[in-house]
Amino acid sequence: MKRAAPGHTGTTGRKGRPAREADTSQCRNGLVVSTHGRHVVVENDDATRMICHPRGKKSEAVVGDRVLWQPTQEHSDEGVIVAVAERRNLLYRQDEWRSKSFAANLDQLLMWIAVEPVFSESQLTRALIAAESAGIPATIVLNKVDLPGTPTAQTRLAPYRAMGYKVVELSLKHETEAARAQMAPLLDGRATLVLGPSGSGKSTLINALLPGARAEVGEISHALNSGRHTTTTSLWYWLDESRRSAVIDSPGFQEFGMHHIPATELARWMPDIAQHMNDCRFHNCTHRQEPGCAVQAAVARGEVSPIRLSLYTDLFEELSQPRW
């Protein structure tokens, strides 16, 4: 069955007949700046914000979406999402057996990791694959480079540098101003999703860039009746008054959802493996046990890290599992 294109707002009625298009003549434009279960906060062109709800039972809007909304008849201070504009890109997060969209229309992904605690290469790989498949440029930031384990972390990141990924090294806590100076040109004029595991210093970054971030979360929670509508999943913060640069924080991040990527297409989103995949003997080689595999040969020559091939194999198996 064909899926609707990202951002598609049309619906179908009974027996597959197209449903009547929603009336958008009285709607206003807005940007989704936070999500709270089925409820979202929409920012208008004049920077005012409004709590909005989906028209149906299921919420389709995610942080970064451009939407059309209109005030509800019951509450003048609340709105209803009428339509979601077509998206430039879309990222998913993983729930045990399914992927759920959580951020859209991003200019870049910042994968924030640290020397300590030791970062998960599996999580890093998933993030980079998700960004590659969505066409979103990704940068790796290695924090806490003042710690003794820095050389080991740098060695582990060497294959990613070789693939062309930009790796920024800094010590946010001990050299805050220098780190901010490093980050400023990277964030300028872009909508940047910042993701990282617990303990990596991502919260320190958010607090350094946005001293009022916690207060903003508190205001939203109060507006939603003390968080009654479930925990915030993502938040959009403007870094400047002109609203050119933004950081999107996604607390509680676990894994990127990748079930929308067919296992047979996985290799093309891993640059080091994709570089050799077209030289395999068989055009449908899965790069696991087939004879004449150019990827396996590249690993034997030391051109592809064995760890990367192992990560690919694990993800291939995961994506090959049937889903219900």
Percent of the chain with pLDDT over 70: 81
Does 14 fall in a domain?
no
pLDDT at residue 92, rounded to an integer: 85
How many domains is the chain partitioned into structurally? 3
pTM: 0.84
Read off the pLDDT of each residue in 10-15 and give the average, rounded to a whole number: 42
Does 311 fall in a domain?
yes
3-state secondary structure the chain: CCCCCCCCCCCECHHHCECCCCCCCCCEEEEEEEEECCEEEEEECCCCEEEEEECCCCCCCCECCEEEEEECCCCCCEEEEEEECCCCCEEEEEECCEEEEEEECCCEEEEEEECCCCCCHHHHHHHHHHHHHHCCCEEEEEECCCCCCHHHHHHHHHHHHHCCCEEEECCCCCCHHHHHHHHHHHHCCCEEEEECCCCCCHHHHHHHHCCCHHHHHHHHHHHCCCCCCCCCCEEEEECCCCCCCEEEECCCCCCECCCCCCHHHHHHHCHHHHHHHCCCCCCCCCCCCCCCCHHHHHHHCCCCCHHHHHHHHHHHHHHHCCCC
Average pLDDT, the chain: 84
Considering the domain architecture, whether residues 104 and 72 belong to the same structural domain is answered as no
Helix axes of 121-134 and 306-320: crossing angle, nearest 10 degrees: 70
Considering the domain architecture, whether residues 146 and 269 belong to the same structural domain is answered as no
pLDDT at residue 212, rounded to an integer: 65
Sign of CA dihedral 283, 285, 290, 294: positive
pLDDT at residue 151, rounded to an integer: 98
Which tokens sit at 218?
A: 């508190």
Considering the domain architecture, whether residues 80 and 109 belong to the same structural domain is answered as no
Q: What is the dihedral of CA 319, 235, 31, 123, to 10 degrees?
A: -20
Considering the domain architecture, whether residues 103 and 208 belong to the same structural domain is answered as yes
The residue out of 227, 249, 271 marking a domain boundary is: 249
pLDDT band per the 50, 70, 90 thresholds, residue 206: confident
pLDDT at residue 227, rounded to an integer: 43
The residue out of 192, 225, 249 marking a domain boundary is: 249
Considering the domain architecture, whether residues 77 and 110 belong to the same structural domain is answered as no
pLDDT at 48 over 80: yes
Q: Which domain, by its residues, includes 215?
A: 97-249
Does 8 fall in a domain?
no
Considering the domain architecture, whether residues 101 and 227 belong to the same structural domain is answered as yes
Pick left, alpha or beta for residue 15 (phi over 0 → left; psi -120 to 50 → alpha; otherwise beta): left
pLDDT at residue 95, rounded to an integer: 61
Considering the domain architecture, whether residues 127 and 200 belong to the same structural domain is answered as yes
Cβ-proximal residues to 83 (8 Å cutoff; 6+ apart), any chain: 9, 22, 24, 27, 67, 68
The residue out of 84, 117, 133 marking a domain boundary is: 84
Between CA 85 and CA 184 the distance in angstroms is: 30
Residues recorded for the chain: 324
Does 42 fall in a domain?
yes
Helix axes of 202-209 and 176-187: crossing angle, nearest 10 degrees: 80
Residue-wise over 145-155: b if at least 16 C-beta within 10 A, else e? beeeebeebee
| Domain CATH code at residue 57 | 2.40.50.140
Nearest to 119 by CA among 92, 85, 156, 147: 156
Read off the pLDDT of each residue in 42-49 and give the average, rounded to a whole number: 92
Considering the domain architecture, whether residues 162 and 191 belong to the same structural domain is answered as yes
| Domain CATH code at residue 306 | 1.10.40.50
Does 304 fall in a domain?
yes
Residue type, 21: E
Does 258 fall in a domain?
no
Under a CB-based contact definition with an 8 Å cutoff, are residues 295 and 267 in contact?
yes
Considering the domain architecture, whether residues 229 and 286 belong to the same structural domain is answered as no
Does 2 fall in a domain?
no
pLDDT at 6 over 50: no
Look at 19-28, 95-104, 309-318 and tell me which has the smallest mean pLDDT: 19-28
Does 224 fall in a domain?
yes
pLDDT band per the 50, 70, 90 thresholds, residue 5: very low
Higher pLDDT, residue 13 or 104: 104
Considering the domain architecture, whether residues 241 and 118 belong to the same structural domain is answered as yes
pLDDT at residue 228, rounded to an integer: 45
pLDDT at residue 255, rounded to an integer: 65
Considering the domain architecture, whether residues 152 and 290 belong to the same structural domain is answered as no
Considering the domain architecture, whether residues 137 and 174 belong to the same structural domain is answered as yes
| Domain CATH code at residue 209 | 3.40.50.300
